[in-house]
Amino acid sequence: MQYVFLSHDVDWKKQGPGTEHILARKERFDSQLFEKTPLEKMYYNFPEYMEIEEKYGTKSTFFFRTIYENGNVFDYEDEIRSLNKNGWEIGLHLDPSSVKDIEKIRNEKNTIEKILQNKIVGNRVHFLKTDKQLLEKLNELGFVYDSSVKKSKDHFKDDIGHYNQNGVIEFPITIMDAYLFTYMKVKEEQIISIFNDVLKYSREINSEFNIFSLLWHDNVLKMKGGRMYSKILEFLASQNDVVLCSGIELVNKIKKR
């Protein structure tokens, strides 16, 4: 089987980046979208993600920051609780300024857990600004997995599968939305064939058990490119040997082996 770890990083505060920021990037959206969507909802996609993933029988992981520019993670209290109550996994989107300091990491973890009223076990560093000693710290704090490594920005072959280090499972990011459209120069109409290539390669390495990880930022679902998420899941779900899952589900599958 080919297991696909589905995840979303919540990079922006609940109200989005603000009118000016969005209007400066107007061309990223279909112009008609502005007629029916208020600006503060252009980056807000939780209900849509939940609907798409439920349609394809899966529930992913959302990584939340605790530090938002001009915003507060507590604004996301309802979303965090509702996602989790309905079966989605919540993880920590660690601030790069905390990576080297175990007390800062502990504080960030506690903040999310306080909102969630439950434990979290997964982490990803914002901007993927991780460092070699991070996994050791995560292990000490009770994290079970991390997904902050991406070796190559312009192809996927170096970032497939998983490995164990310092008692933590690392899932390298195989495909990330932003790199797909910038470094990899993929056009919307080519996206499905890229996923077909990833699958083919993943099967070649290990047709019985392999993993690849997909990062699709929570704010991109209405953007050109980002709006292909539903088509991607449709394609992946149509394959007999593909299982879509969250990080924690994947960890449990690995441990059972």
Shortest Å distance, C-beta 49 to Zn ion: 16
Asked if 48 and 39 touch (Cβ cutoff 8 Å), the reply is no
Minimum CB separation of residue 11 from Zn ion in Å reads 4
- In the bound state with Zn ion, the residue whose beta carbon lies nearer, of 53 and 177, is 177
CA dist 202 and 5 (Å) reads: 13
* DSSP letter assigned to residue 69: T
| CB closer to Zn ion, 199 vs 220 | 220
Q: Minimum distance from CB of 43 to Zn ion (Å)?
A: 13
Residue 147 to residue 134: CA distance in whole angstroms: 11
Nearest distance from residue 9's CB to Zn ion, in Å?
4
Nearer to Zn ion, 2 or 170 (CB): 170
Nearer to Zn ion, 9 or 89 (CB): 9
Q: Which of 2, 5, 11, 146 binds Zn ion (CB under 5 A)?
A: 11
CA angle 167, 170, 173 (to 5 degrees): 175
Interaction between residue 218 and Zn ion (CB under 5 A) = no
> Which of 148, 141, 140, 89 is CA-nearest to residue 116?
89
State yes or no: residue 150 binds Zn ion (CB under 5 A): no
Shorter beta-carbon distance to Zn ion: residue 126 or 137 = 126
Please state, in angstroms and rounded to a whole number, the distance separating the CA atoms of residues 37 and 43: 10
Q: Based on CB atoms, which residue is closest to Zn ion, 11 or 249?
A: 11
Cβ pair 60, 53 in contact under 8 A: yes
Shortest CA distance to 199 belongs to which of 216, 215, 188, 211? 211
CA dist., res. 11 & res. 206, Å (int): 33
Q: Does 95 participate in binding Zn ion (rule CB under 5 A)?
A: no
CA distance 100 to 98: 6
> Residue of minimal CB distance from Zn ion?
126
What is the spatial distance between Cα 107 and Cα 102, in angstroms, rounded to a whole number? 9
Q: What is the dihedral of CA 72, 78, 81, 87, to 10 degrees?
A: -120
Q: Would you give the distance in Å from CA 177 to the centre of its chain?
A: 10
Stretch that binds Zn ion, among 6-14, 15-23, 109-117, 193-201 (CB under 5 A): 6-14
Pick the binder of Zn ion from 9, 79, 89, 170 (CB under 5 A).
9
Q: Is the Cβ of residue 13 or residue 210 nearer to Zn ion in the bound state? A: 13
Could you say which of 126, 150, 162, 222 contacts Zn ion (CB under 5 A)? 126
Tell me if 177 contacts Zn ion by CB under 5 A: no
Residues in contact with Zn ion by the rule CB under 5 A: 9, 11, 126
